[in-house]
Structure 1
Amino acid sequence: MARLETSPDSPVPVRVVALRVGEWISRLGEIWVDGQIAQLTRRPGMPTQFLTLRDPDANISMSVTCPRGVLPDTVAEGTRVVLRARPDFYLERGTLSLRALEVRQVGLGELLARLAALRTLLTAEGLFAREHKRPLPFLPHTIGLITGRASAAERDVIDNARRRLPAARFRIENVAMQGTNAVTEVIDALDRLEKDPQVQVIVIARGGGSVEDLLPFSNESLVRAVADVFTPVVSAIGHETDVPLLDLVADVAASTPTDAGKRIVPDLADELREVAQLRTRARARIHARLDREAELMAGLPERLRRTVRGRVAREAEDVDAARARTRRRIETLLEAGRAELGQVRARVRALSPQATLDRGYAVVVRRADGVVVRAPDEATGTLHVRVAGGQFDATRSTP
């Protein structure tokens, strides 16, 4: 198809654009489409029936025209179908629709097979791994609750939670919990609660239903949205026997909405009883410790006296022993000092001038000038002579 050459000075009319779009769409031919019937209009006597086909995972829909003989009578709003259709572009209105040539209702077996394949895929990706599970807060500030408006599931969660903790606070998001809008509304509510910093746990609750009714909670988009949030999520869908994929990706899978109400908050009465028991045990431990200390203190003075006496006696013995050792040491040192002093005295005596005089020598000094006489010619005038027995003066006679 040749490209249209246009400009501000050479535009093309609307009909040309519409014809070109119609020609391009007609080239698509027949296609198979999977979706869910969101709206169905059956007009008695009319050869054509009209329905709105919605994408199961996104907020996208298309109009479909269907000849009466093509659409099975068992098909109703909310039914999952696969249809063979040809795209049609209506020039007059500039709208796109599908003209159904064959419609097949997706059976339960096929739906379950698709869910099994999706479960295998998500398991391989690790979305259901235990290490990704986050613990629930012990005492959440605010509980986010996604559920149907005025539903039994809402009452079960709130009543059971407040029966355990009367002060429990909720932020409730009422959305469609089945049908074509359920997935998108639950995802939008989940996003709003995730952005609220006060919400510390999110509960998605719905009562029981058929497999088809619970299909939105096995939707891939919803499962991935729950896996991406940081706030812990509690799944409370259906009864104990119902296991949607939401149960596998949630941080906690409650068997029922009633069970979810019991899991998200502690039981105030149980906590008070436990605190009372802990207080009683702590008081008993303290009293027992005080009693043991009192018994120890009762015998402490006598034990202390015995201890002090024994210590004083041992210290006295140590002092006596030290005194005796000191005395012996001093006596030994004195004896050694005496012996050494005797030896020094003997050496001094041997070296003193008196010892020389005792051997018969004399010291002669001239009295006039006190010079010691060492030669005969130095002995002049009066001389002072010192001998061993004393001293005397003498005068040298001239020869």
Structure 2
Amino acid sequence: MALNTSADAPIPVGQVSRLIGGWIDRLGAVWVEGQITQLSRRPGAGVVFLTLRDPSHDISLSVTCYRVVFDRVADIVSEGARVVVHAKPEWYAPRGQLSLRATEIRPVGVGELLARLEQLKKSLAAEGLFALDAKRPLPFLPQLIGLVCGRASAAERDVLENARHRWPAVRFEVRNVAVQGVHAVPQVVKAVKELDSVPDVDVIIVARGGGSVEDLLPFSDEQLVRTVAACRTPVVSAIGHEPDTPLLDLVADLRASTPTDAAKKVVPDVGEELTRIRQLRERALRTITGLLDREERGLAAACHRPCMERPQRMVEEREEQVSALLERGRRTLGHLLDRADSELAHTRARVVALSPAATLERGYAVLQRADGGVVRAADEVSAEEKLRARVAEGEFTVRVTP
């Protein structure tokens, strides 16, 4: 609806801004393609700000979206990426600024491909196919190595030449397959299964030179990833160069940055091992020599001890101690016997002195009645009573006279 305005009857800027906002609000959501030139994700903020630019017309628009919308593609979208955004135009009246409120972001071309790979990666990781505890250790010295690579490829040459240079006796079981294109996945899967079924194969190397993301797609195929995860033989992934990370690198038991690196990690260097063995032998010799020298010094010190130089000295010392103890025992026993004899003599003398016999020997007599009672007073006897008199040398009978 046209506005009736003139130089004499203008309308305020704020009204114009509100009218523009009303017209823009009537627009529905649109799909917009462009390149991300600025990206702002503040920690803890719930909204992400970015600038979408059209390189062909050098026009930019501000885009806002909730963090949950951007987090769906955060792993594969960064500044410089081309994206398709489903957004609704919004007009900020106070500043007169047009922006887009995004509800969905999709990467374009390679970005879309990477998004699908990222979803597959998360799904397989959730199943535990990439778990570290599921990795199998590689043998120290594999006798037979399985190699899956392109026919007459640089990857095959790098692995074979470097491995044989490091350990000339190593043997290979090679399977030449297509490493890109529609036939790559089934041929690589078949070759891995064949090598895994050979009992003598100790480790399997899947190798390919560098290439674009599209060229390396077969090595991120879900069928190949599950086949490698089910192998009983350890698998080494040597795909592309250092920055390349197909899903095969995650499921393999060991990731090598290049085919040459795979040969170095799988096959030990004979020169290095001989040097290590020589160093270990020298270390063992030094350890044993030091142990023998220490024990020899200890034995010599023990032999120079007085008890070892003159062993009978210990017996002589013990003999002197025994003699001294014997003499001491004899003296102690003699003293005890002498003291006991003296005490016995004193006791005997006291007994003799207190004995009634001693009193009788001095001329005393003991008078006893017929019943054996001792006469102690004169009034205890009667006239003509017979008494027995005991003296020191015997006894006799007496009669009491009035």
Q: Supply the distance in 1 between the matched residues of 2:296 and 2:337 (Cα, whole angstroms).
A: 59
Report the equivalent of 2:249. 247
Specify the SS of the correspondent of 2:236: strand
Determine if the alignment matches structure 1 residue 273 to structure 2 residue 281.
Answer: no
Q: Deviations over 1:214-263 (max 9, x none)?
A: 11100111112212223221000112221111111111110111110111
Structure 1 residues 205 and 307, CA gap change in structure 2 (3 angstroms): farther
Which residue of the other structure, out of 259, 271, 287, is the alignment partner of 2:289? 287
TM-score by length of 2: 0.55
Specify the SS of the correspondent of 1:197: coil
Report the equivalent of 1:326. 329
Q: Deviations over 1:90-119 (max 9, x none)?
A: xxxxxxxxxxxxxxxx94332222112212
User: Counterpart amino acid of 1:318?
Assistant: Q
- Give the alignment of 1:328-367 within 5 angstroms: 328-335=331-338, 338=341
User: Counterpart amino acid of 1:147?
Assistant: C
Q: Supply the distance in 2 between the matched residues of 1:158 and 1:346 (Cα, whole angstroms).
A: 123
Q: Supply the distance in 2 between the matched residues of 1:241 and 1:141 (Cα, whole angstroms).
A: 31
> How far apart are residue 177 of structure 1 and its match?
1.8
User: Counterpart amino acid of 1:129?
Assistant: A
Q: Supply the distance in 2 between the matched residues of 1:282 and 1:302 (Cα, whole angstroms).
A: 30
Determine if the alignment matches structure 1 residue 224 to structure 2 residue 206.
Answer: no
- Give the alignment of 1:1-399 within 5 angstroms: 107-297=109-299, 300-304=302-306, 308=311, 311=314, 315-316=318-319, 318-335=321-338, 338=341
Q: Supply the distance in 2 between the matched residues of 1:159 and 1:119 (Cα, whole angstroms).
A: 34
Structure 1 residues 338 and 196, CA gap change in structure 2 (3 angstroms): farther
Specify the SS of the correspondent of 2:202: strand
Aligned length: 279
Specify the SS of the correspondent of 2:284: helix
Structure 1 residues 298 and 188, CA gap change in structure 2 (3 angstroms): same
Q: Supply the distance in 2 between the matched residues of 1:132 and 1:304 (Cα, whole angstroms).
A: 66
Report sequence identity in percent.
57
Q: Supply the distance in 1 between the matched residues of 2:186 and 2:361 (Cα, whole angstroms).
A: 140
Specify the SS of the correspondent of 1:144: strand
User: Counterpart amino acid of 2:272?
Assistant: D
> How far apart are residue 335 of structure 1 and its match?
3.9
Q: Deviations over 1:243-295 (max 9, x none)?
A: 11111111111011111011102111101111111112222333334444444
Specify the SS of the correspondent of 1:199: coil
Specify the SS of the correspondent of 1:135: coil
Specify the SS of the correspondent of 2:142: coil
Q: Supply the distance in 2 between the matched residues of 1:216 and 1:251 (Cα, whole angstroms).
A: 18
> How far apart are residue 175 of structure 1 and its match?
2.3
Q: Supply the distance in 1 between the matched residues of 2:268 and 2:342 (Cα, whole angstroms).
A: 97
Instruction: Choose between structure 1 and 2 for higher RCO, CA contacts under 8 A separated by at least 6 residues.
Output: 1
Structure 1 residues 346 and 198, CA gap change in structure 2 (3 angstroms): farther
User: Counterpart amino acid of 1:167?
Assistant: A
TM-score by length of 1: 0.55
Structure 1 residues 314 and 107, CA gap change in structure 2 (3 angstroms): same
Specify the SS of the correspondent of 1:203: strand
Report the equivalent of 1:85. none
Q: Deviations over 1:30-58 (max 9, x none)?
A: xxxxxxxxxxxxxxxxxxxxxxxxxxxxx
Specify the SS of the correspondent of 2:203: strand
Q: Supply the distance in 1 between the matched residues of 2:202 and 2:362 (Cα, whole angstroms).
A: 123
User: Counterpart amino acid of 1:261?
Assistant: A
User: Counterpart amino acid of 1:274?
Assistant: R
Q: Supply the distance in 2 between the matched residues of 1:304 and 1:191 (Cα, whole angstroms).
A: 78
Q: Supply the distance in 1 between the matched residues of 2:164 and 2:180 (Cα, whole angstroms).
A: 27
Q: Supply the distance in 2 between the matched residues of 1:141 and 1:337 (Cα, whole angstroms).
A: 98
> How far apart are residue 203 of structure 1 and its match?
0.8
Q: Supply the distance in 1 between the matched residues of 2:235 and 2:265 (Cα, whole angstroms).
A: 12
Structure 1 residues 346 and 185, CA gap change in structure 2 (3 angstroms): farther
> How far apart are residue 184 of structure 1 and its match?
1.8
User: Counterpart amino acid of 1:315?
Assistant: R
Q: Supply the distance in 2 between the matched residues of 1:244 and 1:322 (Cα, whole angstroms).
A: 94
Report the equivalent of 2:75. none
Structure 1 residues 325 and 195, CA gap change in structure 2 (3 angstroms): farther
**RMSD between superposed Cα atoms in Å:** 4.2
User: Counterpart amino acid of 2:278?
Assistant: A
User: Counterpart amino acid of 2:337?
Assistant: L
Specify the SS of the correspondent of 1:234: strand
Report the equivalent of 1:26. none
Q: Deviations over 1:62-97 (max 9, x none)?
A: xxxxxxxxxxxxxxxxxxxxxxxxxxxxxxxxxxxx
Report the equivalent of 2:80. none
User: Counterpart amino acid of 1:235?
Assistant: S
